[in-house]
Amino acid sequence: MKIDYDARYFSPKDVLECGQIFRFEEFERGYKVFSADRACYVYTEGKKTFIECDDGDYFYNFFDLGRDYAAINESAKAFGVPLLARGAKLGAGIRLLNQDAEEMIFSFIVSQNNNIPRIKRIIGRMCEKLGQEREFMGQIYHTFPKACDIAARDAAFFKALGAGYRDAYLVATADRIAKEGIERLYGLPTPQLKRELTTYTGVGPKVADCISLFGFGRRESFPVDTWIEKIYREDFGGTLKDRNKINAYFCGLFGENAGYMQQYLFYAKREGM
DNA sequence: CTCCAGGCTTTAG
DNA sequence: CTAAAGCATGGA
C-alpha cells in the first residue's frame, strides 16, 4: 500500500540521518527503511512524501504521522535560542520515530562511545548473521534478531562482528531479556522506565534516554551525548560538567516536548550551524 | 601520530 | 558519594 503526507514536515533525509535509526539505505528516489521484521520504501516527490509498504498501520505509527509537527516546530522557535531556531527552520522535516523497543535497547548499547557509520555497520552485520531473511520490493533483507537469537551467541561472536568491548553488554542484556521479556516496562512512568533501563548491562543514563525516546515514545526524554554537551557549553553558556545535571537542566527548560528540541539541536550542531 | 565518536563499568579516593 | 581509568574500533 501507499501513504502520502505533507513533505514540509516529513523529510526522509532529515528523519533518517539525525541519528535515531541505524537501519536504512538509499534506494531509487529515497530510502529503504527497516524496523524489527518489517521494511518500507520512503521518498519525496513534489510536495508529498510517500511511504510504500505492506503494513500501513505499522509505518503510520512508526513515522509518527498522527502528530502535529507544525505546532511542535513553531514552539521550538519560541524559546529564543538561535541554534534551536535554526535547527527547527532547516530541520523542519524531522520527525521522531516510534521504533521497536527491543531493537532500540540493543542498537543504543552498540552506539555508546561510537560513531554513526560504524554503528550502522555493526548492526547491519548482526542482522545479516542473526536475523531472518525476508523479501521486499524484489530484494532480500534481514530482520532484526530477537533477544533469544542474540543470547544464543557468545561475546567472541559479537567481537568478531566489530562490536568491540560492547560484546559482553549485548550478551548479558540479551540473556536477561530472553528470560524476562520487556513487557513490564511499557506501563512504567518515564522516570521509573529510565531507572529500570539503566539496570541492563551496557545501558547508562544517555542510552536509557534514547531507548525511552525512540523506543517507548517518551517525548520528554532528553539524551545528553557529546554533541549536546558541546551545545550546552557553546550555545547555552552552561558550566555544569555532570551529564545528569545537564539532562535535568534541559528537561526543566523544555518540558514535555524536550525530545523534539533535542533532535533539532542535534541536527543543527551536526550540520555545523 | 593523536583525537574523537549519540558512554558505560569498574576501581580508587 | 564523586572522579578517573579502561575499554575496541575505525575515521579524520
Chain C footprint bases within 7 A of protein beta carbons: 3, 7-11
Is A32 an active-site residue?
A: no
Query: Exposed/middle/buried for A164, CB within 10 Å: 0-12, 13-18, 19+?
Result: middle
Using 50, 70 and 90 to split pLDDT, how confident is the model at A273?
confident
Is residue A125's beta carbon less than 7 angstroms from any atom in nucleic acid strand C?
no
Give the pLDDT score at A272: 83
pLDDT > 90 in chain A, percent: 98
Q: Summarize the confidence of residues A226-253 as an average pLDDT.
A: 96
* Calpha distance A221→A233 (Å, rounded): 20
Using 50, 70 and 90 to split pLDDT, how confident is the model at A270?
confident
Q: CB count, 10 Å around CB of A208?
A: 22
Give the pLDDT score at A121: 98
Pick from A260, A215, A223, A196: which is nearest to A22 by CA? Answer: A215
Q: Which helix (H) or strand (E) holds A74?
A: helix A69-77
Determine the residue type at A24.
F
User: CB less than 7 Å from strand B: which protein residues?
Assistant: A 18-20, 111-116, 118-119, 165, 169, 198, 200-208, 210, 223, 225-228, 230, 243, 262-263, 266
Q: Which residues pair with A51 in a beta bridge?
A: A3, A42
* Tens digits of residue pLDDT in A23-37: 999 999 999 999 999
Measured CA to CA in angstroms, residue A1 lies from A29, A42, A90 at distances of 17, 12, 30
* Calpha distance A110→A168 (Å, rounded): 11
**A38 φ, ψ (degrees, to nearest 5):** -120, 170
* Tens digits of residue pLDDT in A139-183: 999 999 999 999 999 999 999 999 999 999 999 999 999 999 999
Q: Which helix (H) or strand (E) holds A17?
A: none
* Tens digits of residue pLDDT in A64-94: 999 999 999 999 999 999 999 999 999 999 9
Q: Summarize the confidence of residues A96-112 as an average pLDDT.
A: 98
Residues A268 and A90 sit within 8 Å (Cβ to Cβ): yes
The residue with cell 534516554 is: A209
Q: CB count, 10 Å around CB of A140?
A: 8
Q: Which three cell numbers stand for residue A131?
A: 536475523
Give the pLDDT score at A6: 98
Catalytic-role residue among A32, A120, A194, A206: A206
Is residue A242's beta carbon less than 7 angstroms from any atom in nucleic acid strand C?
yes
The strand ranges marked E within A137-259 are 139-142
A236 CA to C6 C1', in Å? 31
Query: Exposed/middle/buried for A184, CB within 10 Å: 0-12, 13-18, 19+?
Result: exposed
Pick from A208, A147, A217: which is nearest to A187 by CA? Answer: A217
* Tens digits of residue pLDDT in A190-233: 999 999 999 999 999 999 999 999 999 999 999 999 999 999 99
